[in-house]
Structure formats: structure tokens, C-alpha cells
Amino acid sequence: MQRNPCIANIKAGYLFPEIAKRRREFAAAHPQAKIISLGIGNTTEPVMPHINAGLAEGARQLGTAEGYSGYGDEQGLTALREKIASVLYNGLAEPDEVFISDGAKCDIGRLQLLFGSGVKAAVQDPSYPVYVDGSVLIGSAGGWTGNGYDGIIYLPCIAANDFFPDLSIIPSDCIIYFCSPNNPTGAVANKDQLAALVKTALQKKSIIVFDAAYSEFIRAPALPKSIYEIEGAKECAIEVNSFSKTAGFTGVRLGWSIVPKALKYASGESVNTDWNRICTTIFNGASNIAQAGGLAALDSEGQKEIRFLTDYYLENAALIRKTLIAQGITCTGGDNSPYIWACFPGRDSWEVFSEILEKCHVVTTPGAGFGPAGNGYIRFSAFGHRADVEEACARLV
């Protein structure tokens, strides 16, 4: 049996397991070190009471004759699709444009099936590694060149362009992965910038995959939370989002995608119809318990709890940011986003990662793991218990 050649193209390990491995190695060599993780963006605070009651009720119902349910619709509970459309999109998306999933990462992987291996992919550089790694796995990008993957169109997002890319580099007929608030830079695109992105996608006959996983961390009222706040986006953009970072569902697993009915391939066929076909074929629906939790998260009480939790992590972010700035380190993010992107000019980011681990016993994420333009940067995650974040900040000075 032949190995899928695309797998041979990918660099050995996915970023976060690689960091976990280095942490384990350090812990084994320094058994007394109390290591604090500001590395992977993994939630730490308990699920809040109203949302947790929704999950518990979902589980309880499974034990009753009246409440039991087995396989559900692959696209998700109608009530949840309706509630996402009304509570979160307020008319900008219809319930049959909402597809419930087991998380945004899984959707990003499955979405690649819509376009196949022939398509070009453009990504913000740096960006969440799944866009690029997923493109390599499906064969729409080639091998590692030493400075990025062959065939990926990297759109540098650096201090000089205020972390918003030069859109003129984007070729025709490609998927544009765009994440705002951005992981890892923490930059949030404003309305004019997203309008320019939509205009470019329409002109270049390209499709945007807009990752809004951190939209609930936006506090500035003028900043868009969804790409559909921009006119024309329904003709050129898919959006993915998730309850992971907002309701603390990183382990529960619940997300959604929006695939507008107005979105068409060059041939005129409907992308929504194909997405429905893919989801019904290779996905068997999100957990019914998770969906019961999702319904509770969209109640007004659940929305208040999400605000509370996201405020908590944003306060962590403010502490980290303040600490780094006091050390004379230039940072972005951390105000409308749970990530702080700290600049270590001219330094190799894996080296800085090791130095912080060795000196402070704090795990971070090296910027180079997010793309070539990430070298010289370190990402600090604000997901953590307050006491740990305070302790980490004390060690960083």
C-alpha cells in the first residue's frame, strides 16, 4: 500500500504537540519546576452554571424514554441553527445557511473537500497552522521549502503594514483564509479593511474562509464580528466559528459554519448544496449533549456567562501585555483578542521560546510555528487561571 504522498510533504509534527513534547522534556529534566502554560490557547475556567445546566439536561434526557435521541440531522438541531442565525447573526444568516459541527478546526479540514487539490490557498502570514497544514494534506500545496510550503500564497502581516496584508498579492481563483481577531497576532481588521478584502475576493473570483473563532473577544463596538457585516460577503465568503473559546467548550466540541446560499462556484453551482452533501456524507452530526449546551449558551443568561468568561481572559491578556510592555517589549493584540504577539527583533523564535521556558518556566508559542513572518515573535496566550497568569507575569520581569 502506498503512503499518501501529501503526508510526506508535511513537516514532522503539528505545532502544538511539538510544544507539548518540549515541555515534557523540560519537565523530565527539571522535575521540581512549576511550569505554567501560556502556550496553546486552551480554556481553563469551568463551564458557567446556566450553560453547564444545559449540558447536564442534555445528558439527563438521554436517560429517559421521551428525551432519548440517537443520530440527529448531520447539519445540526434545527432549533440550534435557528438560534445561531437569530442571536448571533441577527438576520445576516438564514438557519439553512448554518451548519453545526464538532468545532472550527474540524470544519476547516472538511471545507477543503469543497475545492479539492487543485486550488491555490492564500493565508495571512502568520496564521493558525491548520489552514496551511490542511492545504498540504489535501494536496493543494507542496513540500516545505525551508521558508514556507511550496504553492501557498503567504500574505505577510507585519508591524510595517499594521498586521493587515497587501491584498494585491492575492491571485485569482484561490481560497483566502482570513482570521480576525487574528491568531496569533491579535490584530482585528476594521470595516474598511474587511470591505477591501471582500472587494478583492469578488474581483479575483476567490472565496474567503473567514475564521471568527475569537469574535466574542471584540470589545471595540466599531470592529466587525462577522464577515457578513460587509456588503457583498455573502457572494464570496464562508465563515467558521466555535463555542470553544467563549463557552469553554474546547473539550465539549461544538462549532458551526455559515455557507451562504448566494455563494456560487465559477460554474454557477451552489456551494451550500455541496457543503450539505459533504457534511451529510462524512460527518454524523455534533454530539446531542453539546448541542443542548449550545442552546443554553445562546440564552440571554448564557450570553451573559460568555461575556463574563471572555472578560476574565481579556483581563489576563491585559496583565500579560502590561508586563511585557514594562519590559520594553513591543506587543500587539491582547485588547480585543486573547493573544499577545510580542516582538523579539532579530531573534530566532524557537530560541526565545526555549529561553523563556528555561529561565521563567513559562511555556509560550514560537512565532515561526505560525508561518515565516512569525519568526522573531512569541505568542502569549491569555487562557489560564488568574493566579497562574499573575505568577507567570512575576517571573517574566
Residues in contact with ligand PGU by the rule CB under 6 A? 16, 40-41, 103-106, 128, 179, 183, 211, 213, 242, 244, 250, 255
| Interatomic CA distance for residues 99 and 76, integer angstroms | 6
Helices 300-326 & 288-297 angle (0-180, nearest 10): 80
Quick one: DSSP state of residue 338?
S
Question: Min. distance of Cβ 16 from ligand PGU in angstroms?
Answer: 5
Nearest residue (CB) to ligand PGU, 114 versus 247 = 247
| Interatomic CA distance for residues 226 and 181, integer angstroms | 10
Secondary element (H or E) of residue 377? strand 377-381
3-state secondary structure of 388: helix
Question: Min. distance of Cβ 47 from ligand PGU in angstroms?
Answer: 14
Nearest residue (CB) to ligand PGU, 168 versus 242 = 242
Nearest residue (CB) to ligand PGU, 245 versus 321 = 245
3-state secondary structure of 365: strand
Nearest residue (CB) to ligand PGU, 102 versus 305 = 102
Question: Min. distance of Cβ 32 from ligand PGU in angstroms?
Answer: 27
Q: Which of 12, 101, 91, 49 is nearest to 297 (CA)?
A: 49
User: What burial class does residue 394 get, using C-beta atoms within 10 Å of its C-beta: 0-12 exposed, 13-18 middle, 19+ buried?
Assistant: exposed
User: What burial class does residue 29 get, using C-beta atoms within 10 Å of its C-beta: 0-12 exposed, 13-18 middle, 19+ buried?
Assistant: exposed
Question: Min. distance of Cβ 103 from ligand PGU in angstroms?
Answer: 3
Extract the C-alpha cell encoding 56. Answer: 447536564
Nearest residue (CB) to ligand PGU, 32 versus 127 = 127
Nearest residue (CB) to ligand PGU, 16 versus 312 = 16
Question: Min. distance of Cβ 244 from ligand PGU in angstroms?
Answer: 3
Centre a 10 Å sphere on the Cβ of residue 348 and count the other Cβ atoms it contains.
Answer: 14
| Interatomic CA distance for residues 183 and 107, integer angstroms | 17
Q: Report in angstroms the alpha-carbon separations of 72 from 115, 276, 383.
A: 27, 14, 33
Nearest residue (CB) to ligand PGU, 93 versus 111 = 111
DSSP code per residue over 329-371:
--EEESSSSSEEEEE-TT--HHHHHHHHHHHH-EE-EEGGGG-
Question: Min. distance of Cβ 240 from ligand PGU in angstroms?
Answer: 7
Nearest residue (CB) to ligand PGU, 250 versus 280 = 250
Backbone angles phi, psi at 270, to 5 degrees: -85, 130
Question: Min. distance of Cβ 310 from ligand PGU in angstroms?
Answer: 14
Question: Min. distance of Cβ 79 from ligand PGU in angstroms?
Answer: 20
